Amino acid sequence: MATQLVGRLADPQPSDLGDQSPGADAQAKWEEVRRRCLSVAVAMLEEAR
């Protein structure tokens, strides 16, 4: 289960992202969310060592 969570955090795919064309502000916020998710995934992998 942890492996699946790490995979989803490393490459998040929101179900509503394609519903509308995001503006520049929304895109910048999404990139921040992606960066944070990736950081959590990396931290989980490092803890598992």
Give residue 35's pLDDT.
Answer: 95
| 34 contact partners, CB below 8 Å, separation of at least 6 | 12
What are the pLDDT digits (tens) for 4-30? 999 999 998 877 666 666 688 888 898
- Cα(14)–Cα(32) distance, integer angstroms: 14
Average pLDDT score over residue span 33-41: 95
The identity of residue 2, as a single letter, is A
Residue pair 44/2 in contact (Cβ under 8 Å)? The answer is yes
Q: Is residue 39 within a helix (H) or strand (E), and if so which, with residue range? A: helix 24-48
Give residue 38's pLDDT.
Answer: 95
| 5 contact partners, CB below 8 Å, separation of at least 6 | 44
